[in-house]
Amino acid sequence: MAIQQRTAFFILFFSISYIPSLAVILRTTDKTVWANEFETIELTCLIESISTNNPRIEWKKIKKGVVSYVYFQNRISGDLEHRAQLREPANLLILNTSRSDTAEYRCEVAAIDDQRDFDEILISLAVRVKPVVPRCSVPVAVTVGTSSELHCLENEGFPAPQYSWFHDNEELPLDPKNSIKFINSSYTINSDTGGLKFRRVRKEDAGEYYCQAKNDAGYSQCPPQKMEVYDVDILGIFLKSFGAVVAVICVTVGVCHAHKHGCFSSKDQEGNNYKLPAQDDGVDYGDADEGHFRHKSSFVI
């Protein structure tokens, strides 16, 4: 701020007094620069006025409060060593930008023959990073009428991506109410967090889902995953199988019960009890019926 005011003051001073410039004054075309990762970007440090022939030019990188040299003693150093060049008059050209280049860069020019012999300019560079394939979670099977939530997450993209969801390759509008096709669907999409939430799943919501994470650097999407929607029938099937389990338990309990009775009534006939099934398998059902009847009567209990 103070520097800007000083610069303004000098501009004002020299334009009013018509004295030839004796100050080094810098200017940039962009104080906030966005670049896509792996592309080339030029940070401009233009010299508005200078009287010194060989000014000392330096570039520094300021990241999280740590200052390091980028251009010092006429050469590029640090992590930009083989990726940057100085271009006339004092611009910094960064080749193949990396996400780690996101920082503030300060161009400093010292001109000893000028009255005002120093100026600097701060430029902030943000390197956009294309999202990688997001992690998506889609439930394999849900029951009609229940709620369901699908998730999508991507952590690399910069700035943070916006999420959208696709159902059978068709993008789901943010609000189903705005679409003829999805008007009856109960979903909501949170494009910041990647959540796709169904309040009440319908049969029509079944299908393949995938999510897309997108920012200014590009987009990526996860492979489609199938979500099946079952009728309430599944409940019936479940109850039937549950009933079967109960029946099996009853039979088991019943058999045990009957067996117990058998044990109590004829403890000394234990040996004969083993032969009873063999008798049941025989052609003569006359005696066996009695045994069956006993079993049946114990079912009723």
Ligand X SMILES: *[C@@H]1O[C@H](CO)[C@@H](O)[C@H](O)[C@H]1NC(C)=O
CB of 241 to ligand X, least distance (A): 32
How far apart CA 35 and CA 47 sit, in angstroms, is 23
CB of 130 to ligand X, least distance (A): 13
Which are the contacts of 106, defined by CB distance < 8 A and separation ≥ 6? 59, 60, 61, 62, 120, 121, 122, 123
Identity of the residue, 181 or 260, whose beta carbon is nearer to ligand X in the bound complex:
181
**Residue of 40, 34, 38, 47 lying closest to 91 (CA atoms):** 47
Identity of the residue, 96 or 297, whose beta carbon is nearer to ligand X in the bound complex:
96
CB of 181 to ligand X, least distance (A): 6
How far apart CA 276 and CA 68 sit, in angstroms, is 94
CB of 167 to ligand X, least distance (A): 13
Identity of the residue, 179 or 191, whose beta carbon is nearer to ligand X in the bound complex:
179
| Residue ranges in contact with ligand X by CB under 6 A | 38, 96, 98, 181, 183-184
CB of 127 to ligand X, least distance (A): 10
Residue 167 Cα distances to 18, 133, 144, angstroms: 69, 18, 17
The H or E element that residue 218 is part of is strand 218-221
As given in the structure block, the two tokens for residue 268 are: 């000394």
Identity of the residue, 15 or 184, whose beta carbon is nearer to ligand X in the bound complex:
184
How far apart CA 135 and CA 212 sit, in angstroms, is 10
18-40 as b/e: b if 16+ CB within 10 A: eeebbbbbbebeeeebebebeee
Identity of the residue, 183 or 237, whose beta carbon is nearer to ligand X in the bound complex:
183
CB of 7 to ligand X, least distance (A): 36
Identity of the residue, 52 or 186, whose beta carbon is nearer to ligand X in the bound complex:
186
Residue bearing tokens 């309040």 = 199
